[in-house]
């Protein structure tokens, strides 16, 4: 009788041990699942931003997956995503952000029923769809292109675009005038100037009322009003 009880105790104890081990492994999988699930390339249909997260804790984002505008380190902690910018494109040039000037953005994140990555921050929100390498992203074709004179809402900056790809930028406050060429690819406007090293890249949109929106690689949007002749 004592032998049966001993065997039964060993059997129950073994089952509990195995259950505990399985539970620990399952809990570990749950904890690390988000960290694994976030890896890869993502795309936001509204902002046209690409996001990429790698196993070594780095991220990049920009309008073109092969030419990211910013990048840095990311960390997942307590259902929050922390993005720290270490590199950025400023006036067409890549810069390394000094440690004492780096900023960290905190965003809530989750995966919805479609397995989209939903990021929600204080100033920005994104719903990101995973990029399928076998199905390239088709961006909307912008048929309107800026032509003529556009003046910023504050009256300081003015862009003049001609039909042959020429552009002139002038500032009333600083008194400078730059001339150069512009190239449009999908929804991106790239400008290079002949009399300065300044280069600019924007995501642009043209509204029905003639307003031209230029969004810089830092995410700052400036609205310009079309000036008819």
Average pLDDT of the chain, as a whole number: 79
Write down the pLDDT at residue 214.
92
What is the tally of structural domains in the chain? 2
> Where is the domain boundary, 98, 130, 162?
130
Any domain includes 23: no
Domain membership of residue 26 (yes or no) is: no
- Answer whether residue 202 shows pLDDT above 70: yes
Average pLDDT over residues 166-170: 92
Q: Domain check: are 164 and 215 in the same one?
A: yes
**201 and 64 Cβ atoms separated by less than 8 Å:** no
- DSSP state, 31? H
Residues 95 and 177 reside in one and the same domain = no
Domain boundary (130, 156, 188) is at 130
pLDDT band at 17 (very low <50, low <70, confident <90, very high): very low
In a domain, 97, yes or no: yes
Query: How far apart are the C-alpha atoms of 124 and 38, rounded to whole Å?
Result: 18
pLDDT for the residue numbered 138: 62
More confident residue, 207 or 166: 166
pLDDT for position 16: 36
43 vs 29, residue with greater confidence? 43
Q: 115 or 138: whose pLDDT is higher?
A: 115
The pLDDT score that the predictor gives to residue 89 is 72
Assess whether 192 and 153 both reside in one domain: yes
pLDDT exceeding 90 applies to what percent of the chain?
29
Look at residue 49 and tell me if it is in a domain.
Answer: yes
Q: What does the pLDDT read at residue 142?
A: 52
Cα distances (angstroms) measured from residue 196 to each of 81, 176, 186, 199: 39, 11, 26, 8
- For 96, the domain range is 37-130
Residue 111 has pLDDT above 50, yes or no: yes
pLDDT in tens, 36-79: 899 999 988 777 778 999 999 999 988 777 767 789 999 999 88
- Cα–Cα distance, 39 to 129 (Å, whole number): 12
Count each helix (H run) and each strand (E run) in the chain, helices first: 1, 17
Residue 63's CATH number: 2.40.128.280
Residue 22 predicted with pLDDT over 80:
no
pLDDT for the residue 8: 41
- pLDDT tier at 220 (50, 70, 90 boundaries)? confident
Across 29-42, average pLDDT: 76
CA distance 75 to 85: 12
The residue from 65, 100, 130 where one domain ends is: 130
pLDDT digits (tens, 9 = 90+) for 116-160: 999 988 777 889 999 987 776 666 555 567 888 999 988 889 999
Residue 92 has pLDDT above 70, yes or no: no
- Specify whether 50 is located in the same domain as 103: yes
Portion of the chain with pLDDT greater than 70, in percent: 79
């Amino acid at each position: 009788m004592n032998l049966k009880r001993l065997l039964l105790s060993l059997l129950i104890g073994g089952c509990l041990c195995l259950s505990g081990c399985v539970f620990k492994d399952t809990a570990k999988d749950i904890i690390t699942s988000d960290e694994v699930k976030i890896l890869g390339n993502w795309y936001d249909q509204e902002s046209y931003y690409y996001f990429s997260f790698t196993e070594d804790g780095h991220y990049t984002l920009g309008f073109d997956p092969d030419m990211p505008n910013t990048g840095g380190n990311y960390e997942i902690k307590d259902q929050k995503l922390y993005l720290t910018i270490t590199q950025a494109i400023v006036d067409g040039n890549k810069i390394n952000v000094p440690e004492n000037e780096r900023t960290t953005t905190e965003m809530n994140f989750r995966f919805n029923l479609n397995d989209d990555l939903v990021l929600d921050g204080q100033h920005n929100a994104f719903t990101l769809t995973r990029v399928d390498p076998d199905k390239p992203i088709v961006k909307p074709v912008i048929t309107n292109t800026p032509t003529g004179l556009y003046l910023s809402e504050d009256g300081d900056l003015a862009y003049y675009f001609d039909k042959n790809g020429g552009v002139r930028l002038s500032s009333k406050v600083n008194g400078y005038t730059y001339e150069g060429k512009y190239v449009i690819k999908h929804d991106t406007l790239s400008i290079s100037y002949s009399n300065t090293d300044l280069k600019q890249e924007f995501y642009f949109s043209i509204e029905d009322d003639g307003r031209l929106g230029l969004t810089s690689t830092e995410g700052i949007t400036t609205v310009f009003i079309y000036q008819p002749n």
